[in-house]
Every structure is written in C-alpha cells, then in structure tokens.
Chain A
Amino acid sequence: MAHLMLSAAVLPMLAIPAVAQTATGQAPGLAQMVEAGELPPVVERVSDEPEVVEPLNAVGDYGGDLRIYLRGSSDHNHILRVVGPQGLVRWDPDYTEIVPNVAESFEVTEGGRVFTFHLRDGMKWSDGEPFTADDIMFNIEDLVMNEDFAPTPPRYMSGGEPMKVEKVDDYTVRFTFKEPYGDFLAELASPLGQHPVLYAKHYCSQFLPSYNDSLDKLIEANDASDWQNLFLQKCGDLEIPARWGNPERPTLDPWVIKEPYVGGTTRVVLERNPYFWQIDTEGKQLPYIDQVVAPVDQDVESLILSVIGGNVDFGLRHIDPPSNRPVLAENREKGDYRFFEAKSTGGTDMSISLNLTHKDPDLRELFNEEDFRVALSLGMDRQEIIDTVMLGEGEPWQQGPFEDHPYYHEQIATQYLEHDPERANELLDGLGLERGEDGIRRMDNGEPVTFQVDVIPTFDPTWVDSLQLIEQQWAELGVDMEINPMERTFFYERTSNSNDHDAAVWRATQSWVPGQIPQMLVPVHHDSRYGIAWRDWYLSGGAEGEEPPETIKTRLELYEKARGLTDPQERIETFHKIADIAAEEFEVIGVSTAVPTYGIVKNDLKNVPDSMPSSWYYPTPSPTLPQTWFWQDE
C-alpha cells in the first residue's frame, strides 16, 4: 500500500493515459438541443481528450435528480463536496494516489521543483468557451498573485518566494518553485487548491480594474462596495457561499448552478454541464444524473425528518452523529435507503491539549512537566469511556494513523494507553505535588492543581460526556479538572486567538498524508491548542508569538522538509522522525480511535461505494465521482 502514496509524482511518469475513446452518448435532453442546433455535437463538447472514467459497478443510464440538502447558513461547502473541487488533479477513490483531473496528465521534474501540466485539447467551460493555459495564467497572475485582491496563499510559495508559472503552449503550463515541493500535488487536489482553474478569464476578467475601464459603472449597477466585492459577488471564491450564487459564472464542474444559493433562499438547484469533460467506458458523457437538488432546511432536525420521509437521496453531512443512527436505521425500509460507511482517515475524535504556552507561569511550568501529562494519560480509564459514552465503539488510542496505514507510527498511537492510576500517582508524587487535606494536590506555590478544559458541547455531544468521566478519573489522582463548556465562537476566540485557555478538546483525525495539516505533531494551525504562541511565532516568521523550544523547532524544520519530498517512502520516514519526537514529548492526550460514521443513500442509486474515506481534504464524497452515480430503473 505504501508505494501507492504519491506514486504519480515519483517516477516522474505520465498519469495513466486515457484509452483513446470518443464520446458517443449524451443525455436525451442534450441530444434534442443538438438536433435543434442549439448545442454542438457531444464529440466536440467533451474536448479532444476527455477523461475516460470506469464507473464503480456499472455503466449507468441518464436521468433523475440527486436530492441532497443544505442547512440555512454557511453550508456552501456541502455543494462543493458533491460537485467536487475540479482542480488540476484529484485524489483517487481510495485516498492513496493523486490522479489527473482537469489536467490530462502531469510531470514532476527537477527533484520536485517543476510541475508541468498538460491540459485537454479543446476542453470547454460550461458556457462553451475554450479552456486553455490562458485561463490558468489569468488565475495565477491576476488573482492568486494579486495582493490587491487577496494575499497569496502559502501553498503557492516555497522557500519564501511565490511560484513562477509559465505558459508553454495553449495546452501546457509549468509551475516552478524555488525549493522542492512534493506536497504541491496534494495541495492542488484539496478543496483549497482549486485556484489555478477556478475562474474563467473570458467572464471574470470583466470585474478586474486591469481589464475593464468602465468598471465603476458595473460596481454601481450591482450595488457593490468595491471591485473586490463585485468580483466575489459574480465569481465567488473557493469557500464562500457566493461561489454558488451566480448562474452565469462558467465552471468546469459536472453540474452548474441553475437556482443559486443566496441569502434566505429555500432551494438550490444545479443542472448538468453540457460541456463536462468526462465520459464513461462506453463513451457516454457524464454526469448521468440530470440535476442536483438541495432544499434549504434551517435546522438539522428537519433534515432528519426529510431523510426518514424518503426525500433525500444522499446524505452524510450534519446527519451522521451517532445519536441519529437509531432513528435512521429504524426508518431504512420506509425511507428506502441504505447506509454507507464514512471511514475516518485515522487519529482520534477527541484529544485534550494542555496549553504548554500558558500565560500563567505556574500552570505553564506544571503542564510542561512531561510526567504530569503522562500521569494524566495513565489516569484515564479509556475503556470505561468507550463502553459508557462511545457505545463500545473504538479502542484506546492517542493520535495518528491506524495500523493498516503506511504512515502508522506505533509509539505515538499506543503509548501510555493503559489505565494505571498507581503509576500515575507515583509520577505525580515524583513531581513534588503533595495532596492537601481535600485530596487535591498542591503546586509549589501552595495553589491546588486545578485547571479548566474548554470544550464546545454542540460540536460533539460525546465530548462533554467523556470529560465528565475523565473528571472523576483524574480526581482520583488528586487533580482537579473542571469542564468549561462554551459557545463555539467564544471557544475560538479564547483558545486560538488570545491563548487564554488552560486546556482544550478537539478532534485529531489526521493521517499525515500530503495535503493534510498535521496540527497535533507540529504547531502550525489554530487547532494546535497546545502551542498557540509557538504557532503564532511560526506563521509570522518570528515576528509574533513566542519562540518555541528546540524540540518544536526541529519538528518544524522536518515538517518543511517533508513537504518538499517527492519520494513517498522518504516522506513517511521524515514524518516518522517528527512523530518520534512528538511521541517523546507527548503533548496531546488522545482518547480512542476515530470511529466511522454512517450516511444514507437511496437503494436505487447505484455506483455509490459502501465505504468511503471521510475527510475534508479528500473531500467526501467527490472523489467517488458522484457524476457516475445513476438511478436504476427509474
């Protein structure tokens, strides 16, 4: 399995060349339009080099709607996950290998510094205009590198310098980095890496001052506040609702917006893109399904009601907390759906990070004693938590990928898992923390060993339940832990922004593959709540925050090195070096393995796998190619 990881980037080789095949089939509605002369023939629409996709189980039939759902506010990424981030490359369905997507093929040369992408000759935007290297140049030069629009995301930089992009010919572009950057392909495959092919130059350039002299009129006509606002209104951005708010915006997606996602709307509809560039093995143009229909429900309970009423064809998001499983299971027959598994990619659903950069010097000193953290871990009875709170699912686990994963690291996953209060007490005694009369241990300054664990109860109801058990278990060690439930925005503000927390609960479901952020190994993200001050230092290049100790600095260096590597084996080894150090330091205390969740899919909907990885970076379910899903006998 290990050799699969990033093998495309290793050789460097051309990705599997598409079997020469021409498009022969298309949806009946489109065929009529071709006959009426409203559309060019399908052979011309799918480009000269369409991607040939082998459907999971069977070649499908055209027709039908895919009914999903949206929650009222900020749920735009649900559309993104189903339509797919159609970037230059994408993950394969197993989440192990990166394959070409919008690009027909790619080459990685000069030790991972140069990435050459070959586009599909004759490929078109959803409005029929050609998609060429000029569009990529527009995206990079006029938007990604345009500081007036937005700062250049770090994923397009290496060695402190932005990448250089050149147009080799109409259908070839070359990205050059200062340093080797093996993770670049994975960055492009993630939903956040679609920028190079997001905007159509012929449409979106009209909203840029450098292309349109009479832009002021356009801004005024649209009641926009400035050109940036107008641009976002019309062309959107990766992760904002406005991306799905303009039916006129040309895209490369399998379905395009027909009824937009705008404020207060009650339904969003996407219809097939007549120019979509994938065909099946029989030459039929994808997608099979005519429309994606998403009613907007304001609250999650009404979503559940829609599901059991049989009004949803595919659902995972929002409805998959274990508490909903009984009611979903009970109504399987009536709602005519089956379950599919959404496997976690690794790690744990619940980890506790003590704040090692605490503002209070006494607590900071205490938390930085590794023995203290080890004692807390040994003092936890994980099996009791699993049996009581997690309904017996999962097994004790610290963090990191599972045993069957190439990145699996035994020590960081399995150390200090046993429940050993005796040893834990010894460790605490060894730190000179004497018990007071109330049974609570005292620090050197005479203060009791008391700290709060911040947690968002609405994120995952099991967090608070588990903490209540942990509170009792730690009380037996003479450690007074208080649960501090709070509203989610306040949580972010207190922990990630102002570093005011003692400790915090978060999930740690990373498997460390390229593209994911290993925030529990290295403090590089606002979810690295054990070392927010160190993370500020790292991200600001030393200007803010606090200089981290050597152990963190070494890891940060190794992390940067790992991101440059193109050899998957070497990358794994480097990550294991990071994990070795992180395991020795033992900053984050995990509870149990992340358990799979279950989504629902209608019985007649075919080509949907029974199990798929669950991850934002994948992102579920788009690499399973919803454009190949179809309705049997409808």
Chain B
Amino acid sequence: MLLFYIGRRVLWAIPFMFAVSLIAFALISAPPGDYLTTFAATLAQSGDVVDEARLDALRERYGFDQPFIVQYLRWIGGVLQGDFGISFEWQQPVGQLIWERMALSVTLALATLMFTWAVALPIGIYSAVRKYSIGDYFFTTIGFIGLATPNFLFALVLMYVAVVHFGSDVSGLFSSEYQDAPWSLAKVGDLLSHIWIPVIILGTSATASLVRIMRANLLDELYRPYVTTARAKGLSEFRLIMKYPVRIAINPFISTIGWAFPQLISGAVITAFVLSLPTSGPLMLQALLAQDMYLAGAFILLLCCLSIVGMLVSDILLAVIDPRIRFR
C-alpha cells in the first residue's frame, strides 16, 4: 500500500517537474534584456565601462539571440543528461557552484530546524498547560515580537549594535583565519562559535509561530474527555500530557518538515544576504538578479524537486506517527 502510494507520487512528480522547469525558465527569461545587459548595467553603476564589441560577441556565443524555446530545449536537454550548463557570470559549471554551497546550507538549515523545535516544543507545551500564567504571557509577548520582526531586520539591527557598540563583526560563519582553511576540529569549533547567531536570527520567527501553533493545538486537546478519563485513572500528569495530547498536537511540526526541504536552499535568502553567509541563498539571489539563466534555472529546479520530496516525506511521517491518517 505504502509502496504503491510512493510510486504513484513519484510518477506524478515527473510531468510536474517539466511544467515547473518550463515556467521557471520562462520566468527567468521574462524580464527585459539578458545576462549581458544586466552585466553592462551593473558595471556602469560602479563607473566601469564594458567593451561593446565583446558584449555582442558573447551574446552570440551564449545563444541569447535564439528564440526562447530553442534556449529552453538546449538547457533542458543538457539537464536530462546531468549537465546543468555553465554559469555565465563565473564561467564555472553550475553543478559545481551549487554543490560547493550545499554542505553549509544543509548544516545551517538543520541547526535552525533543531533550534526551532528544541525551543518551540517545550515552550508551546508549557504555555498551553499553564495557560494565562505569567510565564505564558511572557512567552506570548516574546512570540508576537518574534513573529512581527522580519529576520533580516533583526539581523541588521544586531549587526549594527555589534559593530557600533562592541566593535565586533557578527556576519559570516567563520573567523577570517579559518575562512579558507581545510576542515579540522578547530574549524568546526570556530563554525560552532559563529553559527548560533544566524541560527537564532533565522529561527526566531519560526519558533514564535510554532509556539503559537503548539499552544493552540494542545489547548484543543487538553479538555477532551479522554484526557479527563486518563487523569481520573490516575496517570501521572507528565506522562498523560506527553503520551496523548502532545502526540496529536505535534502533527503540524511534522507537516513543516516538508517545507524545510526547499528551505535548505532558499532558506532566508535576504537574511543570509545581509549576514554574508556562505550558503546557497545569496548565490541564488545573485543568479536571479544577474539573469544568470542556467544557474538560476538549476536552483529553481532543485527547489521544486526538494519541495516534492519534502512533501512526500512529511506525508509518510505523518502516517507513521498518527495512525488516524491513512493513504488513499
């Protein structure tokens, strides 16, 4: 049953991916001009001048003078053979560029997810069980502030305070001596001493919203008859809450795993941009801004794949955790 379900979902994903790749490519090509126009404009903004003859030659070489559908077929044909093309800006293979960034992106995304859960779960349970206590009000206030503040703004304020008042730099993931050093225990330690800042910045609003969701869901469950029955039978309060209502209230957490997958790449692009994190988010944003079509296209395709896979994974997990959910 389960295997059949997975197989069907995977099969459906294939035409869906094609549709997405076509739309993605169309969207990237939609703005006027091409990579070279943007390149000329970027350089002009900094007071530099581009060699016009070179531009025209490159336009021909890159095939920008070809119709859209030809450019698309050329690209998707390569993708099917595992060749994502060359980034116009960096002259490097797209696959290489993306994979180089992936390890840190995944680390950061997982660390943020763990931080979010580790903080949101206990606080959410506490707020629900001790509804309208001082602690609940305290966390609710913090939670609303966390929800209302955009991450990147929080990052900017933190950076400003750190530079102006403490003379330190909170951006980046490594100290300068470790930036291009080979991996070692010391480098991992250095990463750990830096990563908590972006993790907290990135995690605040997700934490805040999960706290609210957990609290609301748990409140729905806490007054159900089965809870009263279990309590009447003399189950300890901790075991009672953890074993039954929390298990049901946790469903939204599992559903969010699906969203976490695309977040590996596009997670908090703006925040990573502001903090100059060496993750894939800023590279994707740059590729889109620069109209570096193959690089941007590969990113969007990857995002789409990860969303599909993520949704599948969370559906399966949900079914495993909550026996009431059945495959149809």
Q: Are the CB atoms of A494 and B32 closer together than 8 Å?
A: yes
> How far is the CB of B136 from the nearest CB of chain A, in Å?
38
Partner of B51, one of A239, A309, A310, A459: A239
Query: Is there contact, CB below 8 Å, between B33 and A489?
Result: yes
Interface membership of B93, Cβ < 8 A: yes
Residues of B within 8 A of A237 (CB): 54
* Tally of contacts, chain A with chain B, CB under 8 A: 175
Among B38, B51, B57, B96, the residue within 8 A (CB) of A223 is B96
Q: A225 near B95 (CB under 8 angstroms)?
A: no
The answer on a CB contact under 8 Å between A302 and B54 is no
Complex: A229 Cα to B83 Cα, angstroms: 14
**Interface check B42, CB cutoff 8 A:** yes
Q: List chain A residues, Cβ under 8 A from B148.
A: none
From 473 to 500 in chain A, residues with beta carbon under 8 angstroms from any chain B beta carbon are 487-494, 497
- Measured CA separation A458–B45 after assembly (Å): 9
With contacts A233-B91, A262-B92, A489-B37 known, is A77 near B43, CB below 8 A? Answer: yes
Cβ-based interface call for B81 (8 A): no
Stretch of B195-203, B247-255, B275-283, B308-316 with 4 or more beta carbons under 8 angstroms from chain A: B275-283
User: Are B101 and A264 interface neighbours, CB within 8 A?
Assistant: yes
Instruction: Tell me if B45 and A299 are in contact (CB < 8 A).
Output: no
Interface-side segment among A209-217, A240-248, A275-283: A240-248
A525 to B43, CA, bound (A): 15
Q: Which residues of A contact B44 (CB under 8 A)?
A: 459, 488
B53 and A493 contact, CB distance less than 8 A: no
Interface residues on B, range: 35 or more
> Is there a chain A Cβ closer than 8 Å to B182's Cβ?
no
Bound form: Cα–Cα A492–B35 in Å: 12
A266 contacts B53, CB within 8 Å? no
B-side contacts of A150, CB under 8 Å: 54, 57
The interface centre, meaning the residue of A153, A293, A489 with most chain B CB atoms within 10 A of its CB, is A489
Q: Which single residue of chain B is at the shortest CB-CB distance from A81?
A: B48
| A442 at interface, CB cutoff 8 A | no
Give the size range of A's interface with the partner.
35 or more
Interface residues of B in 24-72 (CB under 8 A from A): 31-33, 37-54, 56-57, 61
Nearest chain A CB to B124 CB, angstrom units: 34
Which interface residue of B49, B56, B87, B167 has the most chain A CB atoms within 10 A?
Answer: B49
- Is A489 touching B38 in the complex (CB atoms < 8 A)? yes
A299 touches B273 (CB 8 A): yes
Inter-chain contact A267/B176, CB cutoff 8 Å: yes
> In the complex, are the beta carbons of A318 and B46 less than 8 A apart?
yes
In the complex, the chain B residue whose C-beta lies closest to that of A152 is B53
Q: How far is the CA of A360 from the CA of B38 in the complex (A)?
A: 27
Could you tell me if A151 and B53 are in contact, using CB atoms closer than 8 angstroms? Answer: yes
Q: Assess whether A263 is in contact with B283, with CB atoms less than 8 Å apart.
A: yes
Query: What are the residues of chain B within 8 A of A77 when measuring CB–CB?
Result: 43, 46, 48
Chain B residues near A520 (CB-CB < 8 A): none
B267 part of interface (Cβ distance < 8 Å): no
Complex contact B100–A264 (CB within 8 A): yes
* Contact between A232 and B42, CB atoms less than 8 A apart: no
B280 touches A491 (CB 8 A): no
B74 CB, min distance to chain A CBs, angstroms? 11
Interface string of A581-609 (1 = CB under 8 A from B): 00000000000000000000000000000
Give the distance in Å from the alpha carbon of A550 to the alpha carbon of B6 in the complex.
74
Chain B residue nearest in CB terms to A617: B49
Say yes or no: B89 contacts A73, CB within 8 Å. yes
12 more contacts with CB within 8 A, not counting A245-B92, A266-B276, A458-B45, are A74-B43, A192-B49, A223-B95, A242-B90, A263-B100, A267-B176, A297-B276, A298-B282, A302-B274, A490-B33, A492-B41, A616-B47
A sample of 6 inter-chain contacts (CB < 8 A) reads: A77-B46, A239-B54, A245-B91, A263-B100, A298-B282, A489-B32
